[in-house]
Amino acid sequence: MNLNYLTYQTFPASTANSLQTISHVKYFSRQGLDVTLIFPLREKESTGNLKEIQSFYEFTEELKIQALPHELPFGRVKKGVRLAYLFSHLIWSYSAVRKILKIKKGEAFITRSDWIFYFLSRKGQKVIFECHQLTRTRRYLVKKSLKNQASSLICLTSYILRDLKLNIKDYENRIKIIPSAYDEDHFKELERENTDKSKIIFAGRLDRFGEERGLEILLNAFEKAEVRDSFMVDIVGGPDDLVKKLQKKIDSKDLADSFVLHGQQKRSRTIELIQKADIGLLVYDSSSIKFPNFHHLNYYTSPLKYFEYIRAQLQVVANDFPSHRELPLQEVISYFDNKSVENLILSLKKAKKKSVGNTYPNTTKFSIENRAKKIIGMYS
């Protein structure tokens, strides 16, 4: 089968979304599909050079890449970014679908773009849309697109399906709820260091929805001697300006002995650091995030880092969000209220206790390889 991953994402990029897309393309190829990744050159760093993309994402598969021009405002203007994105996304998607169908009509497609999903569906193409969040426009486009009997939908969480107000039974197995997954390639057999202190790791961007991630609560917890005596922290991720800002906060609290900031790292190095940790942290300060982003944070997230944490057999300390409550392996998660430092400390202690001597559950079925097989099965 010829499969085209047609997306408004651009590459290379260090976002979790781009990492997951590349991993899926890689595993689709390994399943014997003839895969083409098609995307816009919409940022200065964007490139269609396979060698550069292979180097950035650390893979060797000889993928087909088709990078299309993007002579549109998004990526070029600083003012009115959201409006520029909406306009550019719509126009580029329409143009790209018209161009691609001249040579690939009748082939299979997968996308993370609602507009690409809509335009391909209007042409009666076999297409799967991965829905990771919702807007009013997206709800409309998804419902219109699913009128095409060859169109299918993947929801990242059950809450996305709930808010779309769609009944799976009405769509003859064309809708599935499939959470995120980990990429096995970067994991190796490593032994954790035997120390008196448990190592906590946070791996991911230090911002979300334009706001800082919310690691301040962790710093506040480490002001207590009992925490400093029991734990240490690795933080992996950027951007650089927030790394520097966080380091200043750490220094001002005299906590440099407890925290190591690694900045943005290659995926293999990030996974190595995760495997050397004991506790993985999922933390978001939602107090300053407004609707609809607040709703997305609470109901639509299926964090890539969580699946990397469980593959590394870490205990997990996480915000008590409804979307986190439907992640697999709930027995390894200790929840906390992000408004309470004391509550976070109790969760860290609970995770530390659970990490000693317990048998860890099997995580094999949560790999991207298995996720890719599920997606391929939707085309039959």
Are residues 19 and 152 located together in one domain of the fold?
Answer: yes
Q: Does the residue 359 lie in any domain?
A: no
For the chain of 380 residues, list the mean pLDDT of each consecutive stretch of 10: 97 93 97 97 95 96 95 82 93 98 97 98 98 95 97 97 92 94 94 86 85 86 97 96 96 97 96 97 72 78 96 97 96 94 97 89 96 96
Chain centre to alpha carbon of residue 112: 12
pLDDT score, position 291: 57
What residue spans of 32-80 are helical by DSSP H?
50-57
202-240 burial, b for 16+ CB within 10 Å, e for fewer? bbbebebeeeebbbebbbebbeeeebeeebbbbbbbbee
Q: At what angle do helices 16-30 and 304-311 cross, to 10 degrees?
A: 60
Are residues 81 and 205 located together in one domain of the fold?
Answer: no
Q: Does the residue 26 lie in any domain?
A: yes
Are residues 215 and 299 located together in one domain of the fold?
Answer: yes
CA nearest neighbour of 61 among 53, 69, 70, 72: 53
Are residues 335 and 319 in contact, defined by beta-carbon separation less than 8 angstroms? Answer: yes
Q: Which domain holds residue 306?
A: 184-354
Are residues 161 and 237 located together in one domain of the fold?
Answer: no
Are residues 46 and 126 located together in one domain of the fold?
Answer: yes
pLDDT score, position 292: 64
- Show Cβ contacts of residue 101 under 8 Å, excluding neighbours closer than 6 positions: 120, 123, 125
Q: Does the residue 135 lie in any domain?
A: yes
In the chain, how many domains are there? 2
Are residues 212 and 159 located together in one domain of the fold?
Answer: no
Q: Does the residue 361 lie in any domain?
A: no
Q: Does the residue 204 lie in any domain?
A: yes
Are residues 97 and 160 located together in one domain of the fold?
Answer: yes
CA 317 – CA 344 distance, rounded (Å): 8
Q: Does the residue 363 lie in any domain?
A: no
CA nearest neighbour of 213 among 247, 233, 248, 242: 242
Are residues 46 and 163 located together in one domain of the fold?
Answer: yes
pLDDT score, position 180: 97
Q: Does the residue 362 lie in any domain?
A: no
Q: Does the residue 198 lie in any domain?
A: yes
Are residues 361 and 331 in contact, defined by beta-carbon separation less than 8 angstroms? Answer: yes
Are residues 153 and 135 located together in one domain of the fold?
Answer: yes
Are residues 24 and 91 located together in one domain of the fold?
Answer: yes
Are residues 165 and 276 located together in one domain of the fold?
Answer: no
Are residues 82 and 21 located together in one domain of the fold?
Answer: yes
pLDDT score, position 288: 52
- Specify the pTM: 0.94
CATH number for 275: 3.40.50.2000
